Amino acid sequence: MPAPPRSGARRRRTASGDFRPWIVAGVAVTTFIAFAPCVLNQFVDWDDPDNFITNPYYRGLGRTQLTWMWTTVLLGHYVPVTWMTLGLDYLAWGMNPAGYHLTNVLLHSANATLVYLVALRLLRAAIPAAMTVDLLAWRLSAAFVALLFAVHPLRVESVAWVTERRDVLSGLFYLLAIWAYLRDAEVAIDVSIRRRLWYWVSLGCFVLALLSKAITVTLPIVLIVLDVYPLRRLGDAGDWWSPRARRRWAEKVPFVLASAAVIPVALVAARSGANLVSMAVFGVPDRVAISLYGLAFYLWKTVLPLELSPFYALKAPIVPLSAPYLVSGIVTAVVTALAILVRRRWPAPGPPGSSTWSHSCRCPASSRTDPRSAPTGTAISRRSPWRWLPALGSWRAGVRGGARGAAGRSRSSRRAPLPSS
């Protein structure tokens, strides 16, 4: 009698059924086609001249160029890994902007694919293992979430502007870190952390994300949100500080230390580029008003992306009790209250978790402004790329809705137990 297959082999066979190659290809190709016209663009007269046209120091990957890349804070950013990809672009394309744009489009297409793969795993974790699902609906829900994120008009600036290579590149490593973390979540808790390959892959990708753009410092918060839901490794049945929970908290320490190491460097870089506004210029009430306005503003732009602009200036002086700020505060309070109320009808904190993800990712940009404009305090930033990572919190809510749809009862002939991933 033949021996039963080992669990590892069984996992490898079922993993291939977690997604259809044509869906993956469809997500990547659709994203590429949507942004392909960017390849025809030139460098733009906004940061590109300083970064590329008049900057000889990034051109190549020799010792001189690498030394400059790892020490420069040009225009208020410390992004050595991003500079290395741009140096590679120069070796491949010279000063032809088409090549730089092509790299951005390819990176964003890869990001769309990663969003799909991450969404599959989040859906798998959100649906009880014993429940039968419509497998095609499961996969299409993940594809819909990926495309909703990838081709949304707010993504255009990050992809079509060569200077914002740091957005799509940091996003690539950020998504890879999350995907690897979800893979690691499948490993038994009693396995030594030294033997957990995917944990170290996640941490390594996070470090690369930090060195591509410092806004990714909030990943440890996102991982905690994922541990609460859908992984249910923290807070389930009030389990916040048991031996198992303490081990989950301890796993976050290297991620927190990596963030802590980058934050001072990012602050020094931002101040050198005059990208931070002193609290002496804007007091605490002004900053709170601007932050609430930014949250409501970008929520509106996400739902109705009309009259988009690379720059949104706020009129000075800031009057916290004026209508725009009061309405924004009310909208933010109402949305937060609804998320808390809806939580009672959801088996786990889907809306609150998505809100926490989105808001935490906005925090690093909440004190930035453009030194070439009138002071605005800019939690509502002059650039829509600062919505890139926070937008991932929005598609997390879409994942939760997809889980409910895929697990809905029906008589579909494609209904089956969800494959292990």
Q: What are the tens digits of pLDDT across the range 85-114?
A: 999 999 999 999 999 999 999 999 999 999
- Provide the residue count of the chain: 421
Distance CA 381, CA 58 (A): 27
Report pLDDT for 317.
Answer: 77
If you average pLDDT over residues 105-124, what whole number do you get? 93
> Residue 6: pLDDT above 50?
no
Report pLDDT for 335.
Answer: 81
Report pLDDT for 390.
Answer: 58
pLDDT band of residue 401 (cuts 50, 70, 90) is low
- 356 versus 313: which is more confidently predicted? 313
pTM: 0.81
pLDDT band of residue 347 (cuts 50, 70, 90) is very low
- 30 versus 140: which is more confidently predicted? 30
Share of the chain above pLDDT 90, in %: 43
Q: What is the mean pLDDT of the chain?
A: 79
The answer to whether the CB of 117 falls within 8 A of the CB of 19 is yes
Helix, strand, coil proportions of the chain in percent (round to 5)? 65, 0, 30
If you average pLDDT over residues 64-80, what whole number do you get? 95
Instruction: Look at phi and psi of residue 378 and say left if phi exceeds 0, alpha if psi is from -120 to 50, else beta.
Output: left
Pairing between β-strand 132-134 and β-strand 415-417 as defined by DSSP bridges: antiparallel
DSSP 288: H
Report pLDDT for 9.
Answer: 39
If you average pLDDT over residues 175-183, what whole number do you get? 96
- 87 versus 46: which is more confidently predicted? 87
DSSP 311: -
Q: For residue 230, what are the CA distances in angstroms to 13, 222, 319?
A: 24, 12, 41
Q: For residue 251, what are the CA distances in angstroms to 28, 92, 122, 167, 241?
A: 33, 40, 20, 27, 14
- 262 versus 352: which is more confidently predicted? 262
> Residue 30: pLDDT above 90?
yes
pLDDT band of residue 242 (cuts 50, 70, 90) is confident
Report pLDDT for 190.
Answer: 82
Distance CA 379, CA 369 (A): 8
Report pLDDT for 338.
Answer: 80
Distance CA 294, CA 214 (A): 20
> Residue 263: pLDDT above 80?
yes
Distance CA 287, CA 269 (A): 21
For the segment 150-175, what is each residue's pLDDT rounded down to a tens digit?
Answer: 999 989 999 999 999 999 999 999 99
> Residue 388: pLDDT above 50?
yes
Distance CA 179, CA 157 (A): 25
